[in-house]
Amino acid sequence: MKRFAVAFTGPSGSGKTTLIEKISKQLIKTKEVAIIKNDPKDKATFDIEGKDSYKFSKTGAEVVVTSPTRTTYFSKREKSLDEIINMFNYFDILLVEGLKNLPLPRVAVFRNKIDKSYFDYSEAIAIDETINIKEYNIPQNIKILNLNNIDNIIEWIEKNAKEV
């Protein structure tokens, strides 16, 4: 079974989550899709204080909460990409938000302005009409994608995703 991955990065508020959501909704019609979201500022809330799963996760143990409709895994340890991938039983395409240190083909997402510091670890940029591309010197090796053209971005993913 071949499995592929691609990553998305960009400044806070640039539209990464929205883009991944749109791509996922399109791809899931024909593929099994998995998503990894990085929370670098540790802001995400995964449980409600006072509930058993909250109490268990606060112990520092690896915790799995299962129900008839979902399974949630709480971990207090950083995981490598390979460890995270192995948690997913099956997928065709893995979409990763963040984790810019992972060796994956990467699309940087921008609105309003481009942060050139992302060029060093991005193979493509996705921008919208709020950016005047003529104001920037984009390296020739970086593909420019239309943030609002999901089919165009999926085409790039299918050509560039890395087998994992």
Compute the mean pLDDT over every residue in the chain, rounded to the nearest whole number.
86
Domain count, the chain: 1
Q: Please, which pLDDT band fits residue 59 given cuts at 50, 70 and 90? A: low
Mean pLDDT for 49-67 is 71
Dig out the tokens for 161 from the structure: 């995703």
Q: Are 30 and 157 in contact (CB under 8 A)?
A: no
pLDDT per position as a tens digit, 72-112:
777 777 778 788 878 887 889 999 888 777 889 999 999 99
Structural domain that includes position 146:
4-42+79-163
Beta carbons within 8 Å of 3's beta carbon, 6+ residues apart? 85, 91, 92, 93, 94, 163, 164
pLDDT of residue 41: 62
Q: Please, which pLDDT band fits residue 55 given cuts at 50, 70 and 90? A: confident
Residue that the structure tokens 């481009």 belong to: 114
Amino acid at 121: Y
pLDDT per position as a tens digit, 147-156:
999 999 999 9
Residue 104 lies in a domain: yes
CATH number of the domain at 152, please: 3.40.50.300
Q: Residue 95's closest CA among 12, 13, 160, 148?
A: 160
Most distant CA atoms of the chain, gap in Å: 55
Residue 84 lies in a domain: yes
pLDDT of residue 123: 97
